Every structure is written in C-alpha cells, then in structure tokens.
Structure 1
Amino acid sequence: MIVNNSLDEIKKRDNALSIIRNMVENKGRSSLFDLTGLSGGFIASPSELSLLETYVGPAIFEDALQEVGIEHMGGQKVIPLNRTSSGILATILTLVNKNSNVVHYLAELPAHPSIPRSCKLVGANYSETDNFNEFSIPENTSLVVITGSTMDHKVIDENEFRKVIEMAHERNIPVMVDDASGARLRTVIFNQPRACDLGADIAITSTDKLMPGPRGGLMAGREDLIDEIKVKVNQFGLEAQPPAVLAMVNGIKNFNEDNLINSFEHKEQLFELLNKNFNNFQKTPTGVMISPNDLAKEINVEHNLSDNDLAFVFSFILLRDCGIITIPPVSMPGASATIRFDLSTSDAFRLDLNDLNKKIESSFKKLLGVVSNEDECREIVFNF
C-alpha cells in the first residue's frame, strides 16, 4: 500500500497543495478546475473587511448570521464553528455521557470519521447502520445521529429520516443531524424539508459545501441545546473567527439554487460521454463519481495497489496534468477516497464537458501506464 495511515494522508495532502500553489504561481488560477463541490469562497466588501476586529467583528456579523443562518437551516438559534467536525465534537462533549450509547443511521456506510472519533474521546459506545430494518435505539442511549447526505452524496430517504427522529423523541433522546452537504442537496434537489423542520434538535452543515462560503461549520437547533453546546465550543476554541463568520453570512446570501439544478442536468451529459469508454462511473445528484472499488474494476493491468491507492494515484494525475481538483488529493484523514466530479462549482461552468471527458480519459491511460510501478505511483502521490 502507498497510503497506510493518517500521517500518509497528511503528506499526500501537503503534496497536493504544493502542486496547486505551483500551478497558480506559474499558470494562474484559471489553470485549475475545482470539482470537489467544496470550493467555497470568501465574499466580502472593503467596508466589511474593515470591521474584522477581535470584538467588533463578532458584534456585527454574528448577529447578522443569526438571521440568515436560521433562514437557511431552520431552528431557533445558530452557532458558527471553525469546522463541521468541531460542531460534532462539541455536541458529543455536551450531550453524551461516558459508557452511554450513540446510535447513527445513514443512507450508506461509513459515517464521517469525526463522529466515531468524538464518541471514542468521551468513552461512549458507538454504532452505525445503513439498514433501516436493523436500526434500533438501546437503553442508555444519550444521542441519536442521522446523516442527511453521505460523503459520497447518497441522500437519506425522507420517511426513514422522520421515523428515526420519532423513535428518538419517543424516548426523549436528542437527535443530531450531520447535514454537511445535505442542508442544500436534500432541500434543493430532493425537495426535502430542512432538518430542524423535520424535528431534529441539532443540525450541522459545512459552509463551503455546494455554496460560496468559507471552510467552516454552521450549527442550528433548539435554543437551549445551542446555548449548552456553545459553552463547549468556546471552552475548546472551536468557534469560527470573525472573517469566517462574515464569509458565512455572505456565502448564504449568495447561495444560488440554480447552480445545483443546472448541475443535475449537466451530469447526464457527462455520464453518457464517460460511458463510451468506462463501465463503472455512477451518477451523483450534482455530477458523476467513481469509487475506489469501481475504479479497480476498470484496471486490466496487473498491480499490487489497494483500491484506495488507485484512487489517490488517478486523482493526483488529474490534478498534476489537467489541473482538476478532486477530493482524494486534498482531503483530511479518514475521508472517502471516491473521486467525484461535481458540476455545481463555478469552475465546472468554465469546462466544456467534452473536454472534461477527454481529460479524464487521458488521465486514466496514464494511470494504466504507471500502476504496475509502485515506486512511480508513490512519487506521484508524495513527490518522493
């Protein structure tokens, strides 16, 4: 294997960022095409930037965020966080007792690693399932978790969503929804209600996923729980700083549902093009993807790489040779290695789909040419 642990994942991310930096410095930002769906942004006027002081910033922009955040997420109150994972951690630190149970239902395993890691930190018993018929809530459960849309954009069935919330509330157990991309994907593409409107006590979204906001998290929910969780957020330095809060406000204000709707249509064209030469690409709500396992099925050359390693090497070739940014090269440890081409981003609208198809094809041919040479693959991923 090439990528064996979290340290390796950090090293490959460092290499990816170095490639991106060099391309921007030598060829300009227009040479890159961020198709992660996590491209985010930082929208701010000069007058707003002048207010980004330690105490003036929160006084101005956190109040504004309450208004736009509640409109976007529902609930009674919101908290800005430095990452969605921070909100998950703070919620579990607040609501989950040692040796109690946390049960998690999602449309497809696995869950985001921040959830089981946070449970381990407090000494809770954690379990997750994507089989609704097997889902149950045992005695001594302190929190029920639902994922609205998985890391690979598989969206939960609304009826199952409602039923899990009902099951938890019948036992007076709070429900936290990890709605990182789902807060927009579920509502815009699948016409589902906001998580808080479905009865969730806490919902968390990523403010850079499928919207022009910063890397950060926004939590909404019941005011009493938000207030309790905010104590932990501030105790452990998990809160978003004034620049991020400002960017969240403007990111929400500038969120355009039409971009998601248009990407829903464009994915059909790209999928048809790819199907001429590949057998295992799949559609996502806003683009196409290929999982490590499915990528391995496309390889007809003998090699010793793991499925994840194949995805890392392929995605690095796409980045290095074509300027296409996908999630595997730049992801944090534990994230899915599935390669997604998200067509909702502003960069995607600059790409001709026929050209994108050719870039994917040429990168795959290069993958076939190096896959048998593990040392060369390691150099592609780590630059050593």
Structure 2
Amino acid sequence: MIVNSSLDEVKKRESALKIIKEIINNEGRDSLYDVTGLSGGFIASDEELNLLETYVGPAIFEDELQIVGKEHLGGEKVLAVNRTSSGILASILALVKKGEHVSHFLAEFPAHPSIPRSCEIVGASYDEFVEIDKFTIPENSSLVVITGSTMDHKVIDEDLFKEVIDMAHEKDVPVLVDDASGARLRTAVFKQNKATELGADLVVTSTDKLMPGPRGGLMAGREDLINEVKIKANQFGLEAQPPLILAMVNAIKNYTEDNLVKAISRKEEFFNLLSKKYEMFEKTPTGVNVSELSLKKQLKKLDIKTELSDKDCCFLWAMILLKDYGIITIPAVGMPGASVSIRFDLSTQDVIDMNLNQLYEKIDSSFEKLLILSQDIEKSKELIFY
C-alpha cells in the first residue's frame, strides 16, 4: 500500500498541487480541467479588495452576508466560517459535552471524517446510520446530524430527511445539517426544500461546491444556536476572515442553477459514451463517477493484477489524469479522508461547454496508462509522491 496514512494523503495532495503549478507555468490555466465540482472562485472588484482590512472588511460585508446568506439557506442568522469542517467542529464544541452522544443519518457510508473526529475531540460517543429503521437517538444525545448530500453526491430522500428531524425534535435534540453541496444539489436538481425549511436548527454549506465561491463554510439557523457556535468559532479561530466573507457574498449573488441544469442534460450522453467500453461508471446528479469498488471490479474483469491497494489505484489514476491530461479530480487534490471516488462533474466551468468526445478520449487514454503503470509499484509511487 502506497498511501496508508493521513500524512501520505497530505504528501499526495502536495504532489498534485506541484503538478498543477507546473502545468500553469508551462502551458497556462486553459490546459487544466477541474471536474471536482469544488473549483469555486473569488469574485471581487478592485474597490471591494481595498476594503479587506481586519476590522473594516467585516463592518462592510457581514451585514450584506446576513441578507444574501439567509436568502440562500434560510434561517434566522448566518455565520461565515473558514470551512464547512470548521462549522461542524464549532457546532460540536458548542453543543456537545463529554459523555454525550451524536447520532448521524446519511444516504450512504462513510460520513465526512470531520464529524466523528469532532466528536472524538469533545469525548462524545458517535453512531451513523443509512437505514431509518435502525436509526436511534439515545437518551444522552445532544445533537443529531444529517448529511443532505454525501461526498459522492448521494442525496437523502426528503421524506427521510423530515422524519429524522421530527424524531430529534420529539426528544428536544437540535439538528445540524451538513449540506456542503446539498444546499444547491438538493434544491436545484432534486427540487427539495432548504434544510431550515424542513425544520433543521442549523445548516452548514461549502461555498466552493457547485457555486463560484471560495473554499469556506456558511452556516445558518436558529439565532440562539448560531450565537453559541459563533462564540466557539471565535475562540478557536474557526471564523471566516474578510476576504472569504466578501467572496461568499459575491458567490451567492452570482449563483444560478443554469450550470447544474445543463450538466443534467449532458450526463446521459456522456454516460452512454463511456458505457460502450466500460462498466465502472455510475451516474451522479451532475456527471459520472467511478467508485473504489467499481474500479476494482473493472480491473478484475480485465484480468489486471496489481500489488496496489484499491485506494492506491484510485489515487494513481487521479494523478495520471492530472499530470498527463490536466484533469483535476478529488482523489488527487482532496484533503485527508476525502472520497477516493473519481468524479467527473460536468457542471464545472472548465468542461461545461467542452466536447464530450474530447473528454472521453482523455479519460480513455488515461485509463489505458493506469493499466500499464499499475504493474510497476516504484513508478506508481514516484507519480503519487511526485
């Protein structure tokens, strides 16, 4: 196994960023194709940039964030944090004590690692469930978490969403919704209601996921709970700084559902194109995906034997896609614990108008290289830790 620790994942990510820098320096930004669905952006005018001082920035932009943030997420009050994971940590620090319990319901395992890790920090017990019949809220529970859309874009059914919220409220337990991408995916593609409209007490979303914003987290919900979370965020430096707040405001103002809707119409064509040769691709709401298990099955069908682990195969393919074809996927650039599924999101700006045959050829060629390189452990390691 090449990547077998969080440190290895950090080193792998550093390698990917090094490759990205080389491509930009040698070939320019147009030679990169970010298909993560997390590409985000930073929209700001020169006049706004001149206001990004420690205290001037929040004075100018926080009030505006309250307005646009509540339009986007609902709720009584909004809080900007450094990342979605920061909001999750701050919420658990504020609402959960040692010896208490957190129950988590999601559409598919695993949960985002920030949730169980935050519970571990405060000394709380933790369970996660994907079946409503098995979902429980023990008497010592102080928080219920719902994931609206998983890391691989599996979306929870709205009826189950509401049922879990009702179960929690029957026991007077507040509900935090991890709606990192779901705040847009659920509402734009699946026509679901906002988490706060379904009764959630808190919701947090990632402002770079499926929208043109920065890598940051935006929270909304009950004012009393947001205030408690804000205290912890400020105590531990988890709050968003002025540049993030500005970029969040402009991201929400510039967000439209158009790219998501267009991606839905193109994914069927792309999936059919890929499926003529491969069985490993699965549809996502806005593109296609290859899971760790699906890749393993495809390699087995082709009678490809390798000493690489299943996860290493995902990482290796992602690095081939990046270095040789300029295609950025999550396994290459993701943080430790991120999904190793290789997702091609067609809603991203880099490929929204790209010829699908051209994208297919890049993916097909990269997979052929994976078949060859996976036979050489040392060369595979050299690329992953470039």
TM-score, with structure 2 as normaliser? 0.99
When structure 1 is superposed on structure 2, of 342-351 and 284-293 the one drifting more is 342-351
Matched residue type, 2:143:
L
State how far apart, in whole Å, the 2-side matches of 1:198 and 1:293 are. 34
State how far apart, in whole Å, the 1-side matches of 2:104 and 2:112 are. 11
Q: Which residue is equivalent to 2:315?
A: 312
Residue 377 (structure 1) aligned with residue 375 (structure 2): no
Q: CA offset at residue 350 of structure 1? A: 4.2
Q: Deviation per CA, 1:89-138: give whole Å up to 9, x if none.
A: 00000000111110000000100000000000000000001111110111
Q: Which residue is equivalent to 1:43?
A: 43
Q: Which residue is equivalent to 1:104?
A: 104
Please, which runs of 5 or more residues in structure 2 have no aligned partner?
A: none
Q: Which residue is equivalent to 1:272?
A: 272
The answer (yes or no) to whether the contact 2:259–2:352 under 8 Å persists in 1 is no
- Aligned residue pairs total 383
Q: Which residue is equivalent to 1:18?
A: 18
State how far apart, in whole Å, the 1-side matches of 2:35 and 2:169 are. 39
Q: CA offset at residue 351 of structure 1? A: 2.0
Mapping for residues 146-157 of structure 1, pairs under 5 Å: 146-157=146-157
State how far apart, in whole Å, the 2-side matches of 1:38 and 1:276 are. 28
Q: CA offset at residue 376 of structure 1? A: 1.0
Q: CA offset at residue 145 of structure 1? A: 0.4
Residue 364 (structure 1) aligned with residue 364 (structure 2): no
State how far apart, in whole Å, the 2-side matches of 1:163 and 1:211 are. 29
Matched residue type, 1:132:
I
Q: Which residue is equivalent to 1:337?
A: 340
Residue 346 (structure 1) aligned with residue 349 (structure 2): yes
State how far apart, in whole Å, the 2-side matches of 1:351 and 1:363 are. 18
The answer (yes or no) to whether the contact 2:304–2:371 under 8 Å persists in 1 is yes
Percent of paired sites with the same residue: 64
Matched residue type, 1:353:
L
Q: Which residue is equivalent to 2:294?
A: 294
The answer (yes or no) to whether the contact 2:317–2:367 under 8 Å persists in 1 is yes
Matched residue type, 2:358:
D
The answer (yes or no) to whether the contact 2:270–2:356 under 8 Å persists in 1 is yes
Q: Secondary structure at the match of 2:360?
A: helix
Q: Which residue is equivalent to 1:208?
A: 208
State how far apart, in whole Å, the 2-side matches of 1:71 and 1:301 are. 51
Residue 255 (structure 1) aligned with residue 235 (structure 2): no
State how far apart, in whole Å, the 2-side matches of 1:350 and 1:263 are. 10
Residue 241 (structure 1) aligned with residue 208 (structure 2): no
Matched residue type, 1:121:
I
State how far apart, in whole Å, the 2-side matches of 1:25 and 1:260 are. 31
State how far apart, in whole Å, the 1-side matches of 2:41 and 2:160 are. 33
State how far apart, in whole Å, the 1-side matches of 2:250 and 2:33 are. 23
State how far apart, in whole Å, the 2-side matches of 1:95 and 1:333 are. 25
Root-mean-square deviation (Å): 0.6
Q: Deviation per CA, 1:198-249: give whole Å up to 9, x if none.
A: 0000000000000000000000000000011100010000011101100000
State how far apart, in whole Å, the 2-side matches of 1:350 and 1:42 are. 21
Matched residue type, 2:305:
E
Q: Secondary structure at the match of 1:348?
A: coil
Residue 224 (structure 1) aligned with residue 224 (structure 2): yes
State how far apart, in whole Å, the 2-side matches of 1:258 and 1:57 are. 31
Q: Deviation per CA, 1:264-305: give whole Å up to 9, x if none.
A: 111111101100110120000010000011111111211111
Q: Deviation per CA, 1:2-30: give whole Å up to 9, x if none.
A: 10000000000000000000100110000
Please, which runs of 5 or more residues in structure 1 have no aligned partner?
A: none
Q: CA offset at residue 349 of structure 1? A: 2.0
State how far apart, in whole Å, the 2-side matches of 1:132 and 1:79 are. 30
Matched residue type, 1:344:
S
State how far apart, in whole Å, the 1-side matches of 2:226 and 2:306 are. 51
Q: Which residue is equivalent to 1:172?
A: 172
Matched residue type, 2:361:
K
Residue 125 (structure 1) aligned with residue 125 (structure 2): yes
TM-score, with structure 1 as normaliser? 0.99
State how far apart, in whole Å, the 1-side matches of 2:258 and 2:339 are. 27
Q: Which residue is equivalent to 1:53?
A: 53
Q: Secondary structure at the match of 2:352?
A: helix
Matched residue type, 1:62:
E
Q: Which residue is equivalent to 2:161?
A: 161
Q: Secondary structure at the match of 1:196?
A: coil
State how far apart, in whole Å, the 2-side matches of 1:250 and 1:236 are. 26
